[in-house]
């Protein structure tokens, strides 16, 4: 399995497959930061358009994660090739509790701990600055089902729009 940040780990494929994926769509509101696949978001109900999405500012505010699956309208800027949703654009996401299997960036220490089976369910949290899963508290209600400590394709380089792909990151498959 190839680990690529922001994609569902087991989309329904093949003849007769039922598309069970719990994907929702939301709008990045005016004045908000751009979003890219695999980041923690908070969802706001916005009438009449449905959901507005923004980067979560605390673990308690996390309501889901953005996904690249079926997000056809994202902008890809050269040379980074990282798909992004700017204010006014839509991006897909999955909600916590949806039972979706999602690939997210994680710390190398967490990936090593998962592979050594030393991580308890209450010792997983989200690093809001690095936008990755780490060991720690407060607990994030997700279950890790696998991880790689290197060789995953992840998005790096922070908040300034200066994003790029790296093929040497760590990633985890989580059930949200």
Q: How many domains does the chain have?
A: 2
Final residue in a domain of this structure, among 95, 113, 142: 95
Go through 146-167 and write b for each residue having 16 or more CB atoms within 10 A of its CB, e for each that does not: bbbbeebbbbbeeeeeebeeee
pTM of the predicted model as reported, rounded to 2 decimal places: 0.87
pLDDT of res. 118: 56
pLDDT of res. 33: 87
**Residue 84 shares a structural domain with residue 109:** no
> Count of alpha carbons within 13 Å of 87, Cβ hemisphere only?
5
**Residue 59 shares a structural domain with residue 43:** yes
Instruction: State how far the Cα of 64 lies from the Cα of 24, in Å rounded to an integer.
Output: 10
**Residue 122 shares a structural domain with residue 86:** no
pLDDT of res. 145: 87
Final residue in a domain of this structure, among 61, 95, 129: 95
**Residue 122 shares a structural domain with residue 159:** yes
Per-residue pLDDT of the chain (176 residues; tens, 9 = 90+): 578 888 888 655 444 444 566 888 999 998 888 899 999 999 998 767 678 999 999 999 999 999 988 887 888 876 668 888 999 999 999 999 998 889 999 999 999 888 766 566 668 999 999 999 999 989 898 988 889 999 988 888 755 557 888 888 999 999 88
Q: Count Cβ atoms below 10 Å from residue 36 Cβ, excluding itself.
A: 23
pLDDT of res. 19: 53
| Domain membership flag for residue 76 | yes
pLDDT of res. 53: 94
| Domain membership flag for residue 9 | no
Domain that holds residue 38: 24-95
**Residue 169 shares a structural domain with residue 129:** yes
| Backbone φ and ψ of 23, nearest 5° | -85, 135
| Domain membership flag for residue 61 | yes
| Domain membership flag for residue 12 | no
| Domain membership flag for residue 1 | no
Final residue in a domain of this structure, among 50, 75, 95: 95
**Residue 110 shares a structural domain with residue 171:** yes
| Domain membership flag for residue 168 | yes
Tell me if 81 sits within 8 A of 13, measured CB to CB. Answer: no
**Residue 82 shares a structural domain with residue 107:** no
Instruction: State how far the Cα of 108 lies from the Cα of 3, in Å rounded to an integer.
Output: 14
pLDDT of res. 14: 43
């Amino acid at each position: 399995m190839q680990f690529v940040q922001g994609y569902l780990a087991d989309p329904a494929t093949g003849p007769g497959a039922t598309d069970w994926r719990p994907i929702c769509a939301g709008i990045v509101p005016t004045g908000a930061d751009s979003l890219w696949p695999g980041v923690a978001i908070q969802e706001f109900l916005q009438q009449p358009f449905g959901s507005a999405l923004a980067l979560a500012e605390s673990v308690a505010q996390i309501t889901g994660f953005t996904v690249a699956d079926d997000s056809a309208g994202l902008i890809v800027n050269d040379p980074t090739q990282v798909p992004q949703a700017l204010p006014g654009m839509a991006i897909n996401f999955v909600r916590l509790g949806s039972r979706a299997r999602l690939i997210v960036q994680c710390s190398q220490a967490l990936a090593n701990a998962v592979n050594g089976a030393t991580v308890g369910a209450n010792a997983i949290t989200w690093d809001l600055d690095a936008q990755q899963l780490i060991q720690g508290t407060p607990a994030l209600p997700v279950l890790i089902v696998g991880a790689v400590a290197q060789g995953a394709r992840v998005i790096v380089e922070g908040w300034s729009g200066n994003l790029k792909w790296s093929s040497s990151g760590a990633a985890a498959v989580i059930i949200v």
